[in-house]
Amino acid sequence: MTRSIYYCLTGGLAAVVLVASLGLAVPAMAQDQTSGDTTSDDQENFSKEHLAAARAAIEGGNAFRSFDDILPVIADKTRTLFIRTNPSATKVIDEVTNEVALKLANRRPELDHTIMKVWARRFTTEELKEIATFYRSPVGKKFADLGPELTALSIGAAKQWGDVISTEMVTRVREELNKRGYKF
C-alpha cells in the first residue's frame, strides 16, 4: 500500500471521533430534529436552487470536511476486526480492505446529498444564500478555517470546566451530608 493511499484511508481520525462524539453523523434516512420523524428521499423534494444554495453554504463553512474521515475510520475498524480474527493474514487483509475502501469512496456523494437535504430542511433558499455570502466574506472565511480548532478548544474548555465543577460538587455534597450526620 502506498503512503498516500494509507494516509487517505487513515488520516484525520480525530475529526471523525469529534463528529461522532457530538452526535453529528448523518444517517441515510435523515431524521428531522424538530419532529423526530424520518424523511425519505421520496417524501420530500427540494428545488435544484435550494439544494445548490445548501451546497454553497455547506462548502463555504467547510462543513463537508467534518465527514471526510468516516470511510477511513470504517476501513480501519474493518481491518482491525479481520486482523484480530486472523493475524497471519494481515498483509492480505490490508490489501483487500484498501481495495474495498477505495471502491466505496465513490459513494461519498450520497452522504453529501443527505447533508444538503438536512440543511435545506432547516433553512430557506434565501437563508442558505445569506450563509454562503457570509462564508465568502473575510470574517466568514476565517470562521470556516478556524471552525475545527474552535470546536476542539471549546470542547476541551467544557471538559475542564466540567471536571472542576464535578470535583466541587462531590466535595460540597460530601460536606453537606457530613453536616447532616452521614459519613462519606
Q: Is the pLDDT of residue 169 over 80?
A: yes
Q: How far apart are CA 165 and CA 168, in angstroms?
A: 5
Residue 124's nearest CA partner among 64, 63, 61, 49 is 49
Grid cell, residue 24, equals 453529528
pLDDT for 63-90, tens place per residue?
999 899 999 999 999 999 999 999 999 9
Q: Considering the entire predicted model, what is its pTM?
A: 0.65
Q: Is the pLDDT of residue 14 over 60?
A: no
pLDDT for 101-133, tens place per residue?
999 999 999 999 999 999 999 999 999 999 999
Q: How far apart are CA 70 and CA 76, in angstroms?
A: 10
Residue 38's nearest CA partner among 121, 124, 128, 127 is 121
pLDDT for 141-167, tens place per residue?
999 999 999 999 999 999 999 999 999
Average pLDDT, the chain: 83
Q: How far apart are CA 111 and CA 48, in angstroms?
A: 17
